[in-house]
Structure 1
Amino acid sequence: MRHVLPALAVCLLLASAGCAGLTGQPPAEPHDLEVRNEANATYTVEVAVVAERNETVTRKNATLAPGESTTFADAVPGTGPYMIRATAGNRTETWLWTVERNDAGGLVTVETGGDLTFTYATA
Structure 2
Amino acid sequence: MYYQLPFKTGRYIVEKTGEHPNGVLVQVLAVVHHPKQGDLHAPGETDVFFHERKALAYKEKRIVHPNLLKPHDGELPDYNVSLKEAVGRLEDKLTAENTPYHQQALAALNNLKEEYRHYYHIIF
Same fold (TM over 0.5): no
Larger proportion of strand: 1
Larger proportion of helix: 2
Q: Who wins on radius of gyration, i.e. which is larger?
A: 2
Q: Structure 2-normalised TM-score?
A: 0.24
Q: Structure 1-normalised TM-score?
A: 0.24
Q: Which has the higher contact order (CA 8 A, sep 6+)?
A: 1
